Each structure stands twice: as structure tokens, then as C-alpha cells.
Amino acid sequence: DHLPPTPALKPDMSAELWNSAVRVLETNWAGDHMVPSRRLYPHQWSWDAAFIAIGLAYVNPTRAWRDLRSLFEAQWPDGRVPHIVFDPATAEADYFPGPAFWDVPAYGNRAARGSTGIVQPPMHAIAAWEVYRHAAAHGANCAQEARTELEWLYPRLVAQQRYLTTDRNLGRGGLASIVHPWESGLDNSPAWDEAMANVPADLALLSQYRRRDLDVSDAAHRPTDLDYSRYVGLVVSYRAEGYADAGLLDRHAFAVECPAFNSILASAELALAQIAGELGRTAEAATHRHRAAQITAAIIRRLWNEETGTFHALDVHTGKLTPANCVSGLLPLMLPDLPADLVQAIMNEMRSNRFGLPVPSYDRTAPDFDTMRYWRGPVWINVNWLVRRGLLMHGFRDEAEDLRTAMVRLVHRNGHFEYFHPTTGEGLGAPTFSWTAALSLDLLA
Ligand code: 9WN
């Protein structure tokens, strides 16, 4: 059940990809932060900033730190890191929903810049540790800068974890709930279909606004209007009480525990343990390791499905696991303490005709597998990068190398697209997308 060995990459291919990735990151740099894409996403996004920093570490670590700092300057007093930090130089009409729609309360983010009130997967501790590890290669000044930035970030990363593990422990089982599909970063994933069916779809509400994304991308590649009407309704619901989390379950229609989000949450604790160790905070390092073990145990207890042999999202309102087989169910492979039988089950699932490498975002055999539409089929570089991390974590070196080579070829052949057609490899979505470029650098380094 092993793939045939892949031929080595040609040096000129690697050089071309490296140079084009650097150009994308140059184009998308906006002074003190990176935009995911100039036209489609003209602000700063949370988990994008983490993936971007991982790549910038090789070519411009100062910008990697600057990007993370810009994001965390917009952190809320309760510790939440907003999923978008708005650029005041960008017009409200250039992205929907913009800052006026989110209307976050004055006690919200402290920065002069506006933000949203929701979060995204907490990739930042992982990114900070990666950038720090690579900084020394750039000389003494960069090593010094890295130390200063890591010390600045550490308490903020801890506050982010506290918010997610405490205020967002809506299901009371030790996992963080997402309260909007945008919080998963896997926006229209079939993993939310069941839970979203219980969210009122108010198309009249949506019709009061203009979907800017449809002006700048192909509608067949984007979530539907029905999806968007629910997205907007969920913001209105969370916004009504100033994005407060106390009692949220009783007044908000969507609360889900995602295996990918929570695997990243646990991995962030492990990265914090390494950061704390580096900063000489030995006792705190042990606490972070303990928390990672607790989150891992809760993921297994709450999200594992014996029958499908994979992990699924849990709808907190109904207490049911959602049936869809999505890539998010494979991401607990990132967890170093995952028991061997569960690692094996994920590997079986990944090697089956439902997935294969590079992994699509959804089960290829599902009747509603959609090769074009966003998180319902296409291949994304960031999730494949996370899968590769998991493969390396558990010693699957050949598959990790095959996946690396496949990703490099995909991007080299098709461009730094936001996502890719899962059978033809055609580029879809935004054409010069920052995390595709940034993670290409990491794959080549
Ligand atoms: C909503 C920026 C973001 C990514 C998400 C991706 C997409 C936004 C959108 O773009 O979401 O947050 O407008 O569709 O799904 O993962 O962070 O690149």
C-alpha cells in the first residue's frame, strides 16, 4: 500500500519556485503586515499570518516577527486573537463583511485598527517557535531580535490559549468550540453541514449587502449565497451581546468541536512548552505539556469514531458527531501522543481512495465531493503542510517526502494559487496567495 518512489526534484524547478514565492511575498507585503491576497483578502488574517511567518523566516525574519506583532497588537483583553485585523487604508467596500459590519465593542481589540470578534486556529505558537529556530541562521542580530520577539509574544500566546481553553470550553469537555465556520479556517467544509442546517438562513438579510468576493473571484469556487446568509446571521447573533461567550450556547445556533482546530490547540501547547523551556520558564513548560496531554485525551474521548476509523466534528448542541469524512479528521496525526492504533487508523484512511496524497479537503468518494468549491474538495497547501508534519511526527518519512515533492510540483506547475483542483491540479481561487508561497519556501528549504 505504498506509493511508488517519486523522482527527485530538479534544481532549476526548486530555484524557480523559490524565486516566484519570494515575489508573491514581496507583492503582498503591506508595510507592517502581509495580506493573503491583494484583491480577495486585503486585510490581515490570523492563521494566514502564522503560515506566512513560517516561510518568511527563511527570507526575511524581521517581517515574520513584524507580521505576528501586528496581529497580536490587535489581541483583545480577554486573550482572543481576532480572525481579521482590518487595514484602515482599505475601503469598507473592498471586503465583506468589513469593520462596520463587525462593529466590535470598545472593550474589544485595543489596537487603533478594527478587527472581527471571532478567532481562527491558534497556529501562532507553532509559527513563533519555527521562526525562532530558523533565526540563528541569519546571524547574531537576527538571533537577538528573535529572542526579544519571542519574549514579547510568549505571554500573549499564553493568553490566547487561556481564552480558547476556558471561555470557549462551551461543551465542558476540555475542547474549544468554534462558534462560526470562519473560525475553523475551513469555511464551507461539509463537516459543518449538519450543524449549519440548524442555523437560520436569512437570504433577505444577505441581500442588504454586496458579496465583494464574487466581484473578484469565480462564484463556482466560493461558498454559496445560502452559506453566506448563515455566516452573516451567525455574526449578527454573536455581535448582539458584544461577542461575549458566557451563556453563548443558549443563544447561539452554532457550536462545534473541530478535530483540526483542537489538534492545533494541543500542538500550540507543545510549542509553548518549547518556548517556555527556551526562555528558562521550566515549571511553565511542564504545565504546557500537561495541557497538551489533556487536550489530546479529550480529542480522543470526544471526537473519535470507532465505526469510521477517523475523527469527526462534534455538534455541541446535539452531542452528535457529524458524519462527513473531512480532512480535519486526519489532522490529529499532528499529535505526538496519539496512540499507535489511532495513528494506524488515520494512515489507513489517508491511504484509502477517499483521500490519497496530497489530501483533498473532503472524501473523494462522497456524492457531494466538489472539485471546485473551496473546502468541499480542492487541495489546500496549508492542510497538506500540517499532514506532512504529522507524517514526520510519527516516522512516516517516505510518505512525508512524497507529499513534499507532490506539493512542490503542484505549486511549481500551476502557480501560487489559494487551492487546487484535486484531480487536474488546476489552480483555483486567488492566484498569488501568500501562504501557498510561504509554505513553498519551507518545503524547499
Ligand atoms: C473568511 C484568508 C482566509 C483564510 C480562510 C479561508 C478564507 C475568508 C473568506 O480566506 O476565508 O475568513 O472570505 O472566505 O477559508 O482559511 O484564512 O486567506
C-alpha separations of 89 from 99, 113, 117, 217 in Å: 12, 10, 20, 22
Cell of 333: 496525526
Q: Residue 165 in 3-state DSSP?
A: helix
Cell of 62: 524581521
Residue 121 CB less than 6 A away from ligand 1: no
Q: Whose CA is nearest to atom 6 of ligand 1?
A: 185
Residue 98 CB less than 6 A away from ligand 1: no
Alpha helix stretches (DSSP H) within 103-180: 124-135, 140-162
Atom of ligand 1 lying closest to residue 223 CA: 14
Nearest in space to 426 (alpha carbons), one of 220, 190, 187, 224: 220
Do residues 255 and 317 touch, judged by C-beta distance below 8 A? Answer: yes
Which residues participate in catalysis according to the annotation? 187, 418
Q: Tell me the CATH architecture of domain 11-444.
A: Alpha/alpha barrel (1.50)
Bridge partners of 126, per DSSP, are: none
Is the confidence metric ipTM above 0.95 for this complex? yes
Distance 9 CA to ligand 1 centre (A): 31
Distance 187 CA to ligand 1 centre (A): 7
Q: What angle do CA 46, 148, 129 make, to 5 degrees?
A: 50
Atom of ligand 1 lying closest to residue 120 CA: 17
Distance 401 CA to ligand 1 centre (A): 28
Residue 187 CB less than 6 A away from ligand 1: yes
Strand segments (E) across 63-205: 84-85
Atom of ligand 1 lying closest to residue 433 CA: 18
* Per-position b or e across 404-430, b if 16+ CB within 10 A of its CB: bbbbbbbbbebbbbbbbbbeebebbbb
Cell of 56: 518568511
User: Tens-digit pLDDT profile for the chain (445 aa)?
Assistant: 455 566 778 889 999 999 999 999 999 999 999 999 999 999 999 999 999 999 999 999 999 999 999 999 999 999 999 999 999 999 999 999 999 999 999 877 666 789 999 999 999 999 999 999 998 889 999 999 999 999 999 999 999 999 999 999 999 999 999 999 999 999 999 999 999 999 999 999 999 999 999 999 999 999 999 999 999 999 999 999 999 999 999 999 999 999 999 999 999 999 999 999 999 999 999 999 999 999 999 999 999 999 999 999 999 999 999 999 999 999 999 999 999 999 999 999 999 999 999 999 999 999 999 999 999 999 999 999 999 999 999 999 999 999 999 999 999 999 999 999 999 999 999 999 999 999 999 999 9
Taking only Cα atoms into account, the Rg of the chain, rounded to an integer number of angstroms, comes to 20
Q: Residue 304 in 3-state DSSP?
A: strand
Atom of ligand 1 lying closest to residue 48 CA: 17
What's at 332, amino acid-wise?
A: P
Start-to-end CA distance of the chain, whole Å, equals 29
pLDDT of residue 110: 67
Kind plus residue range of the DSSP H or E element containing 315:
strand 314-315
Distance 46 CA to ligand 1 centre (A): 10
